[in-house]
Chain A
Amino acid sequence: MVQTEVLSAIGDSSLAVYAVWEPILRTDDERSSRKATALFPDRRVTNYWVDSPDVGKAFQEPIGLVGGPAWDVYLVYPPGAQWTVDTPPRPEFFMHQLGGRLPDDRSLDGSKLAEAIRKLLPE
């Protein structure tokens, strides 16, 4: 959905994308993260593997998530946003696929995510 409805739909080179693959499920490891890069065949995407839940935990507070590291979440930041302290910045917009752990109206919807990104693209 993200590739087809967001990345393919927004060709703008002023969009940077970071895919952080985390160890959430029992089969998650670096090899599986390399395979998962096939989900986003887009030059703007930088793929990372982190062998720790700490990055996901760091993003709990910015999106108001409790009870576990943030994963299956999609955060959008405008130009100018900086990550200056240990806690990452609060996103301008986010969506998720975490069921009842975050607001239902933020459940991942490709068209809504694309719309939010377009609004934040630099002029």
Chain B
Amino acid sequence: MSVDRELSACRGQGLSMSSALLLAVGLSGCGEGSSESALSGQWRADLEIGDGETAELIVDLGTVGSRWAGEFDLLKYGVENYPVEMASSGDTVRLHLTAMRMDFEGTLSSDGKSLLGTGRFEEEEIAVELRRVAPDPRFSEGFLELEAAADDPSLVETLSPDGTELRARFNADISKTRLLLLLSPS
């Protein structure tokens, strides 16, 4: 029941903050391999979760603007539109499903219709077959909005490591009550 455990664990940590909205990051670390474009589409897999039950994993991979992006859903656990990281090298494809803390490594079948490999959790491995069910990704509206936000530098100010700018702002607002949040964006 590793999927159960991992999702329960992540809900108790970082996801608790972010679950109100969909946090999705673009694919990072895409490899130098040529297979990224071959991976575009919507992929689905049935994950064994124990006691004969399965949970459907939906992974969308494709380009948004000029960048590769990926998101996944695991609806049985209420997980929607979480980011996927991808790297590829030759025939090997690696996916990191944030929130699930699952790493998948597999290969694309010769007909391009499936990704066969292994999903690894902290202590366990499960066989995973992702089947391509659509040639294009079906990114959610929220995911696309967040991808657009990621390209907008006006949304965040960059702090110096010593927090000089924050300190100046904090002191400038001395007449106000101040709420300071220190957070991980993922």
Q: Which residues of A contact B (CB under 8 A)?
A: 1-4, 6, 12, 14-39, 46-52, 54-56, 58-59, 69-84, 86, 88, 91, 97, 99, 108, 117, 120-122
Contact B180 A122 (CB under 8 A): no
Secondary structure dominating the interface of B: mixed
For chain B, residues 123 to 163, give those with C-beta under 8 angstroms from any C-beta of chain A.
145-147, 149-153, 155-163
**Contact (A36, B165) CB under 8 Å given A17-B178, A49-B157, A99-B13:** no
Q: Which residues of B contact A (CB under 8 A)?
A: 12-14, 16-18, 20-21, 23-26, 28, 83, 85, 96, 98, 145-147, 149-153, 155-163, 165-167, 169-171, 173-186
Which residues of chain A are within 8 angstroms of B83 by Cβ–Cβ distance?
27
In-complex Cβ contact of A54 among B21, B155, B162 (8 A)? B162
Q: Given A58-B162, A72-B182, A121-B177, output 13 extra A-B contacts at Cβ < 8 Å.
A: A17-B179, A27-B85, A30-B158, A34-B156, A35-B25, A39-B23, A51-B158, A55-B162, A77-B177, A81-B174, A88-B167, A99-B12, A117-B179
Contact B177 A36 (CB under 8 A): no
Which residues of chain A are within 8 angstroms of B165 by Cβ–Cβ distance?
48
In-complex Cβ contact of A55 among B24, B26, B182 (8 A)? B182
Cα-based distance from A59 to B151 in the complex (angstroms) = 29
Cα-based distance from A122 to B177 in the complex (angstroms) = 7
Which residues of chain A are within 8 angstroms of B25 by Cβ–Cβ distance?
27, 29, 31-32, 35
Contact A97 B13 (CB under 8 A): yes
Contact A33 B156 (CB under 8 A): yes
In-complex Cβ contact of A79 among B152, B157, B177 (8 A)? B177
Q: State how many angstroms separate the Cβ of B149 from the closest Cβ of chain A.
A: 5
Which residues of chain A are within 8 angstroms of B173 by Cβ–Cβ distance?
16
Which residues of chain A are within 8 angstroms of B155 by Cβ–Cβ distance?
34, 37, 47
Q: State how many angstroms separate the Cβ of B134 from the closest Cβ of chain A.
A: 24
In-complex Cβ contact of A14 among B98, B171, B177 (8 A)? B177
Which residues of chain B are within 8 angstroms of A121 by Cβ–Cβ distance?
177
Cα-based distance from A54 to B161 in the complex (angstroms) = 6
17 contacts between A and B (CB under 8 A): A16-B178, A17-B181, A27-B28, A28-B184, A36-B18, A36-B186, A37-B156, A38-B149, A48-B157, A50-B160, A56-B182, A72-B184, A77-B170, A79-B174, A83-B171, A88-B163, A97-B13
Contact B158 A16 (CB under 8 A): no
Cα-based distance from A19 to B161 in the complex (angstroms) = 15
Cα-based distance from A25 to B96 in the complex (angstroms) = 13
Contact B20 A3 (CB under 8 A): yes
Contact A55 B159 (CB under 8 A): yes
Which residues of chain A are within 8 angstroms of B28 by Cβ–Cβ distance?
27, 29
